[in-house]
Amino acid sequence: MFLGSRSRLRAAVIAAAVGAGALTAATPAAAAPAAGTRAYLVITAPGATSGAATAVSGNGGSVWTSYDAIGVIVAHSGAADFATKMRAVSGVQKVGATRTTDVPAESANPPIPANPSQATPATGEPLRSDMTQIGADKAWAVNTGSSSVTVGVLDTGVDDQHADLKPNFDSANSASCAYGKLDTRAGSWRDTDTHGTHVAGTIAAAKNGSGMVGVAPGVKIASVRIAEKPSGLFFPENTICAMVFSGDRGFEVTNNSYYTDPWLFNCPDNADQDAILEGVKRAVAYAEGKGVLNVAAAGNENYNLANKSRDATSPNDSTPVTRTVTNACLSVPTEVAGVVSVASISSTNTKSSFSNFGTDKIHIAAPGDSVYSTVPGGRYGSKSGTSMASPHVAGVAALLKSTNPTATPAQLRTLLAGQADDLNCTDSRCSGTTAKNNFFGEGRVDALAAVGTGTPPGNSFENTADVNIPDNGAAVTSPITVSGVTGNAPATLKVDVNIVHTYRGDLVIDLIAPDGTAFRLKNSGSDSADNVVATYTVNASGEVANGTWKLQVKDVAAQDTGYVNSWKLTF
């Protein structure tokens, strides 16, 4: 279920096919599943799924997809005793149904979502309160984010043709995992609702003079559609697929504005939910192990996640039953270890009425009330929810990664927490201190601080003189003379580049060492976005530090122009 509006709307999940860690695109099946077919997670030790896969077939099931690297099989079966028999198989650790309803007919041959006609782009980019609230407007003047950073939007899909999203959209790394199987057909990633497109705009809508601007308008967006249609739900096998796909594709950040259906909370004393917990935990850990920072919405129930007692909304794919729950029961992925859980605040820095809370459950807070962003068809609209707060944090995390390209997910979490602005609360349910409490965690996310926290300079040298770049002409250089640095340059020499240009894909950029050795920073390509504002890391340990270094820029195509605004070396 996606966590986007005050009412609990439906959403979706992604699924992928992986063998020994390598993601494989699946071809949709020809025949619809028989009535009574259910989906199951079969959990084994990582790298040991082959025996269990054989047992699946021998016990009335079929392997839908498999992730050997994390020891997870997604199986389909219409046999009522399938789970019981599989739990008795040697090497099988857990087995659980992922839903309480049949696998939908659409899973056999998922339709490509419609490509909506596009409205004329809106004129102007009015400054919005959510962006000023977190200092994003000031951050843009410093660093809009690096195009080498990709944020995966795990959601209902994204309208990749929207004028504010198209410049930053990465179709090569977008897919659908709805219905539990990877689908890389062109357009499979498109929005089946409006939710994912709205989230994507908050993260990285382009700074192009029209519509609105995202928190990190210089980074890339990839869509991984995980919502099924028509249910709109995000089932566990879809979440698992999306996380594995994100890790294998090398995303730096993911945004997860949903909870994994059909259970609001998954309890370890229930065999089905215990398997769901284990499968999602492993997938999240796999993604983080590949360098992905996962950010998630905390939920819209106005619920104390640190004091669970009752759930009257699950399962949401059939008939909900009121049940007793404990703190051992978790909402996933937001309560999974390593995931940054985001609460929503209003424009006056108070807890949004719907936002969940809880001591050591909420990590950070961001604006989530009446957030204006992109919706399909080139249009715009406002939505409320922790779904709208989470992408603000994902955008700031992308800025942090742009500024600190070697930072690990753990280091990014530390930076997010350390930079957050403290928020006081007087609500009787609020406990803790101004520095850290159960409503806002470490506080309100800070985009401006994110772009000012690169590697502290031991020695820094900068050239701020403008150098015009001839259109489709000869290469130009901008020099920096380095002195007073002992020995060779470091293996992590930082090169901050700020180039104003109307089509950055035209540009080839090199760093030239004092002895003439060239280090390629950027190749030309089809990237039509404006400007190059990025930090590159160069292994220059074989070069003497002192001497004249040059930034060399060549425009290799006609019609677009620009200039070197400034650049900096940090040793």
Cβ pair 230, 243 in contact under 8 A: no
- Give the three-class secondary structure for 162: coil
- In terms of Cβ atoms closer than 10 Å to its own Cβ (0-12, 13-18, 19+), residue 485 is middle
Which one from 387, 390, 402, 478 is the annotated catalytic residue? 387
Cβ pair 503, 524 in contact under 8 A: no
Which one from 68, 130, 155, 317 is the annotated catalytic residue? 155
- Reported in sequence order, the residue ranges of 286-356 that DSSP labels E, i.e. its strands, are 293-297, 310-311, 323-324, 340-345
* 155 assigned to active site: yes
* 387 assigned to active site: yes
* 506 assigned to active site: no
Q: Which residue, chain included where needed, has tokens 């992986």?
A: 18
Report d(CA 385, CA 5) in Å as an integer: 5
Which one from 76, 162, 195, 198 is the annotated catalytic residue? 195
- Give the three-class secondary structure for 564: strand
Cβ pair 84, 171 in contact under 8 A: no
Contacts of 291 (CB under 8 A, 6+ apart): 247, 250, 252, 408, 409
Other Cβ atoms closer than 10 A to 406: 10
Report d(CA 68, CA 14) in Å as an integer: 17
Q: Which two tokens stand for residue 357?
A: 């809370």
Identify the CA nearest to 211 among candidates 307, 81, 121, 132. Answer: 121
Catalytic residues: 155, 195, 387
